[in-house]
Amino acid sequence: MRWGVATPSRNKKLSARRRISGGLLKGIVFLCAGVTVALLVGLLGFILYHGLGNINWAFLTTARSALKNTIGIFPNILFTLYIIITALLISLPIGVGASIYLNEYASHKRLARMIEFTAETLTGIPSIIFGLVGYLFFCRMLGLGASILSGALTLVVMVLPIIVRTTQEALKTVPDSYREGAVALGATKWYMIRTIILPSSLDGIVGGCILAIGRIVGESAALIFTAGVGYQLVTNYFQALGTSGGTLSVALYVYVYEQGEFEAGYGIAAILVMIVLLVNFATKLVKKKFKRI
Amino acid sequence: MKAKAAVERIMGSVFFVCGMVTIVAVLGITAYLIISGIPAIREIGLVDFLFGQVWQSTASEPLFGIMPFILTSVYGTLGACLIGVPVGLMTAVFLAKVASPKVAAVVNTAVELLAGIPSVVYGLIGMIVLVPAVMRFFQLKNGTSLFAAIIVLAVMILPSIISVARTALVSVPGEYEEASFALGATKMETIFRVSIPAAKSGIAAGIVLGIGRAIGEAMAVMMVAGNVANMPELFKSVSFLTTAITKEMAYAPTGSLRQQALFSIALVLYVFIMLINTILNAFLKRREKP
């Protein structure tokens, strides 16, 4: 059992001091857990209560119009999708490849440890640093400017550790007997990886993707300098790659902090919160579904 | 047969290259920050830069002292820990030792969701609810303050502290606790005198992880701290290392000393983060071999 402390038999002779301090501590523990849950309920309730009313069809399907003085977030939704697609298209193969290297190839223990260490280091680097270096490298040095592509490339580096970790965890659970069986039947290593290892670690890869999507949707500091804050509608994917565009989180920041448009901010916040709920639910679903097989 | 061997070799090297990406990324980021951070430090002077108490980047004779940012980041992080660590640790105790599995699952979901909420959403609520509340409660002219930032950060680091501390508490060997019961200790005495001390490196790792989160947070803090380069005071508008960068990046002309100084701030922040990561790794390693 996870909550492993067995309840000791009641001792009636327990001194008053011990009884009171025990009760007090227990009270504090319950209080703190209550505070944590109350914080979440309060946050979600507040955002959804104020935000849902501001979400309507026009808000979701139009762009901002200075002429009509209306705010619409359709471009921002598209930009968010574009960044997710681009970042995953690049980071998924690299991340899965890296974890396959770590788990199936790396004979050099030191190098493997180095890769794991750097992946952990990347997890700890604040997003503002990614934003700054992304701006210096992708926007300025490679000349991509503030664009969806620059933003996506910056995020590739940010979400890579997530995909490496989840895929690696899944690879570790693939029994060695599968590998031995495949090799004994004459499969080459690549054939074995392609037909045995990758399909059996699909849950980790899918789970990593979902986590990465959650991270990308919530990201703002790394994108504001790399992808910019644009809100013009660009429907062509390849054209959008080259234009500046703010994702939903960036748009929330710009509307609320720089322009004082709180209603639009609430609406976007409610959408973001619902995406967070969805991501959490999907992660649980993936875990459950694949465990049964 | 030859083609097969070639494919094998090619795929082997493809995976190797993929593996190298994280190493190259870390080295690249480090190199970039050093190369772009050094020029301004050299021009301003390391001592004037790090210990200068005045930041006036737009004055006719600009001053680039980042002591206010450093101290604000340190105080802000310590303040957040002062609130976040006790609440987080107690919640972890609740999850690992007190709650029934069903209740624990619910609270755990709450913690995961808290971790998933984007920082701009925390910033939004901070701006709309917290800042006015601080203003009214403490009768200030302006609620944007170090205090408001501390509260927001305390909430934001909770999930990291809780999840790491919980894992540490769960993995305390059952024998320790059974021995404590056998000696007549109550459940709470056992938790606080045996389980928590036994899990202390894991708990410390959780705290350090929280410190890293707090010191690196930009957007949420940006929206509630006021972003004025004051020396830190609890009820004054202040600017953190992260927000100093965020605030001026959009305005600083490309290639100017002002922009280069922002890269230098990023370098200082990076050094802080690397230091914290090193400490974190030391704690995690100690936990691996009891």
Q: Report the chain A residue with the minimal C-alpha distance to residue B157.
A: A36
Q: Tell me what ipTM this predicted complex has.
A: 0.92
Of A29, A54, A79, the domain-final residue: A54
Residue A286 CA: distances (Å) to CA of A130, A202, B104, B108, B250: 30, 10, 20, 17, 41
Q: Is the pLDDT of residue B131 over 80?
A: yes
Q: Distance between CA A232 and CA B61 in Å, rounded?
A: 39
CB contact under 8 A, A129 and B125: no
Ordered mean pLDDT values, 10 residues apiece, chain A (293 residues): 53 79 93 95 95 89 83 92 96 94 86 90 93 93 92 96 92 88 88 89 90 94 92 88 92 92 93 94 85 54
Quick check: B121 and A273 in contact, CB under 8 A? yes
Angle (CA) B67-B68-B72 rounded to 5° is 115
CATH number of the domain bearing residue A199: 1.10.3720.10
Quote the tokens at residue B28.
């690249």
Mean pLDDT of chain B: 92
Cβ-count burial B186-217 (b if 16+ within 10 Å, e if not): bbbbbbbebbbebbebbbbbbbbbbbbbbbbb
Of B211, B50, B270, B76, whose CA–CA distance to A132 is shortest?
Answer: B270
Mutant choice from A96, A160, A220 vs B, greatest count of B C-beta within 10 A: A220
Residue B5 CA: distances (Å) to CA of A191, B8, B9, B127: 11, 5, 6, 61
- Residues from chain A that touch B123, judged by Cβ atoms under 8 A, are 253, 256-257
Same domain, A20 and A162: no
Asked, for residue A6, whether it belongs to a domain, the answer is no
Which among A33, A132, A265 has CB closest to B91?
A33
Torsion region of B139: left, alpha or beta (phi above 0 gives left; psi -120 to 50 gives alpha): left
- The pLDDT, as a whole number, for residue A293 is 47
Q: Which of A279-293, B35-49, B127-141, B254-268 has the lowest mean pLDDT?
A: A279-293
- The pLDDT, as a whole number, for residue B253 is 87
CB of B164 less than 8 A from some CB of A: no
- The pLDDT, as a whole number, for residue A200 is 86
pLDDT digits (tens, 9 = 90+) for B249-284: 888 888 889 999 999 999 999 999 999 988 888 888
Q: How many domains does chain A have?
A: 2
Average pLDDT over residues B32-61: 91
- The pLDDT, as a whole number, for residue A155 is 96
Q: Distance between CA B273 and CA B280 in Å, rounded?
A: 10
Quote the tokens at residue B154.
């305390």
The pTM score is: 0.91
Min distance B221 CA to chain A CA atoms (Å): 11
Same domain, A49 and A62: no
Same domain, A49 and A64: no
Same domain, A181 and A125: yes
Residue A65 gets which letter from DSSP?
A: B
Asked, for residue A125, whether it belongs to a domain, the answer is yes
Asked, for residue A10, whether it belongs to a domain, the answer is no
B133 residue type, one letter = A
Average pLDDT over residues B134-155: 93
Asked, for residue A23, whether it belongs to a domain, the answer is yes
State which residues form the domain around A194.
58-292
Asked, for residue A215, whether it belongs to a domain, the answer is yes
Q: Is the pLDDT of residue B41 over 90?
A: yes
Asked, for residue A9, whether it belongs to a domain, the answer is no
Q: Is the pLDDT of residue B91 over 80?
A: yes
Same domain, A36 and A104: no
